[in-house]
Chains A and B, each alone.
Chain A
Amino acid sequence: MRRLLNIRPPWGVRLLLGALPLAAVVLVYLGAASVQHSLNPNEKFLPTFSAMVDQARIMALQVDPQTGAIPLWQDTAASLIRLGAGLAIATVTALVLGLVIGVLPLMRATIGPLVAAVAVVPPIAILPILFITFGLGETAKIALIVLGVTPFMVRDLAGHVLAIPEEQIVKAQTLGGSTWQIALRVALPQAMPRLLESLRLSLGPAWVFLISSEAIASDVGLGYRVFLVRRYLAMDIILPYVAWIALLAVIFDLVLISLNRRLYPWAHTARTR
């Protein structure tokens, strides 16, 4: 008998196995919803699929007369701009600081402790400070994302650069490389695939920070909408919104994975299970 850990499902079976739990969740939900609705036609907690589709149509296709815009797209655009700006700033900062800390012992001694100190502060706890400092506009929300994910990315990247074998750095010096040339041609290219991976892992926390700040002070955005309609217990709007956010998150995740594989094929030659 083969060991369980050696049994690897073929491609098609894997797809099927992955779909089963998802299908089970949907079926359980539908069952519960229809039971609830047969007991109480005004049931709000478990909206039926048709109710959710109706609401989703309204949110995604109809112009809201008050704002003159289609809510879902307006919210999506606002949220993605905040998320994109925050992550872009975080990524560039992480690249620069991570390289500098990883390559130069002097800088590691100088800014390493600062980064470590910032990293232990729970970002949500300083959200009030951000609102006080930057006002209730876009800046505070972007700043929360930046402060929330940058320390992790910096430390992750610096650690990765530090882990480049000493032999390689010595070899580069025997090939005449200067500090700058070694940072640029040995450390930077080897940091890039890790940076993309760390960006991918930061997407989850970034969404949390985005939705938190939108829930607290905003007039547009996916998080704002979800918390707004909560007042009316509008589960038929909340659930489609959550599904939409999940879909966006999955798409970004997949895009980053495939981008990483395409741009840095040398980093992905090791066999994976």
Chain B
Amino acid sequence: MSGLLQFSQVWVEYGDKVVLEKVDLSVQQGAFVSVVGPSGAGKSTFLRLVLGQEAPTRGAITLDGKPLRAEPGPDRGVVFQRYSVFPHLNALDNVVFGLDCAGSPFSGRLSGARRAAACDVAAAMLARVGLAHALDVYPAQLSGGMQQRLAIAQALIMKPRILLLDEPFGALDPGVRLDMHGLITDLWLEHGLTILMVTHDIKEAFKLGTRVLAFDKRRHDPQAPNRYGSTVVYDFPLDEKTRAAIPAALTAMAEPQSEAI
């Protein structure tokens, strides 16, 4: 099996603390993978590996068949729960940033006609995420939901091979979160994106994902809690029908259970 993103026998250890062990995984292009698991299970660590912010202690990761560069790059976009946008740039400049970097190695800022063209592209992207009216607004003046819209637009401008989301909607109100679900699903379809999303909300995981991965420890040593790491304990591929049925089923079941993971 060969996917866009491939993990083989990946381990992450900090000293004698094992965080991830023996992770084997293949993610197909176009997948929307939800990642769930208890706090501390290593979900963010997993994303950091894909991002290249961290290298595995053992094992190999490939993207498009090539070993993953252990450094963040424009082929992998990211939206964090917070601090994903630049506070000193207005919305438009935040989105143009990627184009500036690509087109102007020395000054880091395009000028003249090229800048104007880049601004048009960025403005269209901002309009697409619903921020057409806020081009010259600084992030601090945007609501939490609007900041996440901005962060998504900023990431998508680079046309990343894979988009990584670490609890992107975790800090948002339920209503706003619902709007964001619609937006991210539409963008995923329009741009043919491959998405890895970490979430604590299992309903969200089933509603958005085409596949749900659950990270947890297989084994437990009560005397040495750090001895064993987490790995993928459940891997649910979802077709259209199950995707439609599961959130309803989860709602029908007890609410508190759905928050348990």
Contact = CB atoms under 8 A, between A and B. Distances in A.
Interface SS of chain A: helix, strand, loop or mixed?
A: helix
Contacts of A170: 51, 53, 72, 78
Interface string A245-271: 000000000000000000011110110
Nearest to B98: A175
A172 B97 contact: yes
Q: How large is the interface on B (under 10, 10 to 19, 20 to 34, 35 or more residues)?
A: 35 or more
Contact of A190 (B71, B73, B87, B100): B87
Interface of B: 51, 53, 71-74, 76-78, 80, 82-89, 97-98, 100-102, 105-109, 138, 140-141, 151, 154-155, 157-158, 160
Interface stretch (A82-90, A98-106, A179-187): A179-187
17 contacts: A165-B83, A167-B82, A171-B84, A171-B154, A171-B155, A172-B86, A173-B71, A174-B51, A174-B77, A174-B78, A175-B97, A177-B101, A177-B108, A180-B108, A181-B100, A185-B100, A189-B89
A176 B74 contact: yes
Nearest to B88: A189
A167 B80 contact: yes
Closest 5 CB pairs of A and B: A173-B72, A175-B98, A165-B83, A181-B108, A167-B83
Given A170-B78, A174-B76, A185-B97, 17 more contacts: A167-B83, A170-B53, A171-B86, A171-B151, A171-B155, A172-B86, A174-B77, A174-B160, A175-B154, A177-B97, A177-B101, A178-B105, A181-B101, A181-B108, A186-B86, A266-B88, A270-B140
Contacts of B97: 172, 175, 177, 185
B140 A171 contact: no
Contacts of B51: 170, 174
Contacts, number: 88
Contact of B140 (A181, A186, A189, A269): A269
Nearest to B71: A173
Contacts of B80: 167, 171
Interface in A155-172: 165, 167-168, 170-172
A175 B88 CA distance: 16
A173 B88 CA distance: 17
Contacts of A266: 87-88, 138, 140
Contacts of B157: 175
A18 B15 CA distance: 58
A253 to B, nearest CB: 24
B73 A168 contact: no
Contacts of B74: 174-176
Given A180-B108, A181-B108, A174 B158 contact: yes
Nearest to A181: B108
Contacts of A172: 86, 97, 101
Contacts of A269: 138, 140-141
Nearest to A192: B88
A99 B253 CA distance: 54
